[in-house]
Amino acid sequence: MSDRVIIFDTTLRDGEQCPGASMNPQQKLEVARQLERLKVDVIEAGFAVSSPGDFEGVNLIARQIKGLVIASLARAVPKDIEAAGKALKPAKRRRIHTFVATSEIHMKYKLRKAEEEIVRLAVAAVKLARKYTDDVEFSAEDAARTQPEFLYRVFEAVIAAGATTVNVPDTVGWAIPAQFGELIRGIREEVLNIHKAVISVHCHNDLGLSTANSLAAVLNGARQVECTINGIGERAGNASLEEVVMAMKVRKDLFGVTHGVRTEEIYRASRLVSKLTGFLVQPNKAIVGGNAFSHESGIHQHGVLMHRKTYEIMHPKEVGYGESKLVLGKHSGRHAFVERLKGLGFVLGEKQMERAFDRFKVLADKKKEVFDDDLSALVEDEISEVPERFTLGYLHVSSGTGVIPTATIRLKTPEGKILQGAASGDGPVDACYNAIDRLIQFKGKLQDYSIQSVTSGKDALGEVTVKLAVNGRVEHGRAASTDIIEASAKAYLSAINRLLHKR
């Protein structure tokens, strides 16, 4: 038995059956080109007979993609097989994938046919498909719920008729890994001519077990896995290509198999399919989710900084992701904070770092994620050599329609002196500045005031910059906070401290 697993991508056929995920022929070709770069073995380009658009898509891919096997699905019906054969004709390597249901519930309620008729239909379909190509795959729809003895009989008959691949679909996501693995092992042991065909599996995710079932099948002898990018597909989707491929790669010690996928193209393929279908990838999606290589917990960040493999079982570059991401948030620790500041070019003393970290923790409680621009704005005051004559201890503002804006301010000095007072103004910021001027007897002129968002989102930092002039001397002040009134007061004090220091 070969140790190479064939990766059969059905994103353009089963994946596109997901409600709202349909693509036009040109979009399908764009995905097919990316699958070619990804180096999957087989692209199931569509269901040729289902619509003129699907036929065109299959035919276009058959004409344009030359390095891979191009497949089209077909029911065990002559018109389906003929349409598939015609659409695939330009392909250098082509496969007709025909199927019929074999489970008791499908035969009784959907097909209304007996076992003998099902075997006859399957054999006839394979023989007809062989007139168009030597590469024929037969799927026993709902195989996971089919009586094993009948499944063995069907597979033996279609292999004798010329099928080169027999597929075992868990069509409704009903199987569990132990059971599914046992079914594959039974096929290997009980189907007399199974050595003439490749055992394939096609697992759905209704119970969240599609990847696990596919891998259990590989452990028991399956050598083709049918899957989709991002796991898209009918209902809860299909086995995810990226999960199946990376599981076999990361746990090669367990699986002992190989595949031909260029894993560095996985992330790019994921983004493309997401863009064209409009289906966003959930942040916690394995391998390709936004958080797949992100760490916020201080314990995890420290471990990753010491040695990446403490918390990462694969390198993000292996899937084309780039680098690991240390997300700074309220769970982050000093190690990640210090490393991020170093990366931004900030070198702080011990006391400065301690103050900056304390300010970061306060900010992190207000924001879900602290970005690099947030950090830059936050620590710039800490690297200043200007001593703080006055710091903001308390601020309360009352403002609104029909209300005179009033600000109550409390300032602290390095000697521990507390200054507190209130003032009104034309607006909340003007009231703050009037209160500060009154408390410290400051007589200067505000020449400029500006505010801008440091980062995006409703919880973004607002950065305020002011320019103050006293007796011909001009100084800037800057501060950032999620509260723009607080940022305004701190920026004003920063400029005053600079003026007083120069004087």
The pLDDT tens digits for 2-41 are 799 999 999 999 887 777 777 889 999 999 999 999 999 9
First to last CA, the chain: 86
The domain that holds 467 is classified in CATH as: 3.30.160.270
Residue 483: what are its φ and ψ, rounded to 5°? -105, 110
Residues 108 and 30 grouped into a single domain = yes
Mean pLDDT over each residue of the chain, to the nearest integer: 87
Give how many domains the chain has, as a whole number: 3
Residues 337 and 402 grouped into a single domain = no
Distance CA 73, CA 14 (A): 10
Nearest alpha carbon to residue 175 among 215, 211, 145, 139? 145
Please list, in sequence order, all residues whose beta carbon lies within 8 angstroms of the beta carbon of residue 400, skipping any fewer than 6 positions away: none
> Looking at the domain assignment, is residue 329 inside a domain?
yes
The domain that holds 113 is classified in CATH as: 3.20.20.70
> Looking at the domain assignment, is residue 385 inside a domain?
no
Largest distance between two CA atoms of the chain: 103
Average pLDDT of the segment spanning 290-302? 54
Backbone region of residue 5 per phi and psi (left: phi > 0; alpha: psi in -120 to 50; beta: other values): beta
Q: Tell me, what's the pLDDT at 54?
A: 92
Domain boundary among 379, 403, 429: 379
Residues 458 and 396 grouped into a single domain = yes
pLDDT digits (tens, 9 = 90+) for 162-208: 999 999 999 999 999 999 999 999 999 999 999 999 999 999 999 99
C-alpha atoms less than 13 angstroms from C-alpha of 40 in its C-beta half-sphere: 31
> Looking at the domain assignment, is residue 272 inside a domain?
yes
Residues 123 and 161 grouped into a single domain = yes
**Do 348 and 376 form a contact (C-beta atoms < 8 A)?**
no
Domain boundary among 326, 345, 379: 379
Residues 330 and 238 grouped into a single domain = no
Of the listed ranges 57-66, 258-267, 386-395, 438-447, the least confidently predicted one is 386-395
Residues 80 and 201 grouped into a single domain = yes
pLDDT digits (tens, 9 = 90+) for 79-105: 999 999 999 999 999 999 999 999 999
pLDDT digits (tens, 9 = 90+) for 151-165: 999 999 999 999 999
Residues 18 and 47 grouped into a single domain = yes
Residues 300 and 395 grouped into a single domain = no
> Looking at the domain assignment, is residue 1 inside a domain?
no
Nearest alpha carbon to residue 164 among 254, 298, 42? 42
Beta strands in 24-80 (DSSP E): 42-46, 69-75
Average pLDDT of the segment spanning 127-137? 98
Backbone region of residue 472 per phi and psi (left: phi > 0; alpha: psi in -120 to 50; beta: other values): left
Q: Is the pLDDT of residue 304 over 50?
A: no
> Looking at the domain assignment, is residue 434 inside a domain?
yes
> Looking at the domain assignment, is residue 288 inside a domain?
no
Label residue 245 by pLDDT band (50, 70, 90).
very high
Label residue 322 by pLDDT band (50, 70, 90).
low
Residues 370 and 414 grouped into a single domain = no
Residues 119 and 78 grouped into a single domain = yes
Q: Is the pLDDT of residue 296 over 50?
A: no
**Count of Cβ atoms closer than 10 Å to residue 402 Cβ:** 4
Q: Tell me, what's the pLDDT at 149?
A: 97
pLDDT digits (tens, 9 = 90+) for 198-231: 999 999 999 999 999 999 999 999 999 999 999 9
Q: Is the pLDDT of residue 294 over 60?
A: no
Segments forming the whole domain that contains residue 311: 294-379
Residues 371 and 489 grouped into a single domain = no
Label residue 412 by pLDDT band (50, 70, 90).
very high
Residues 200 and 325 grouped into a single domain = no
Q: Is the pLDDT of residue 465 over 50?
A: yes
> Looking at the domain assignment, is residue 342 inside a domain?
yes
Distance CA 215, CA 221 (A): 10
> Looking at the domain assignment, is residue 384 inside a domain?
no
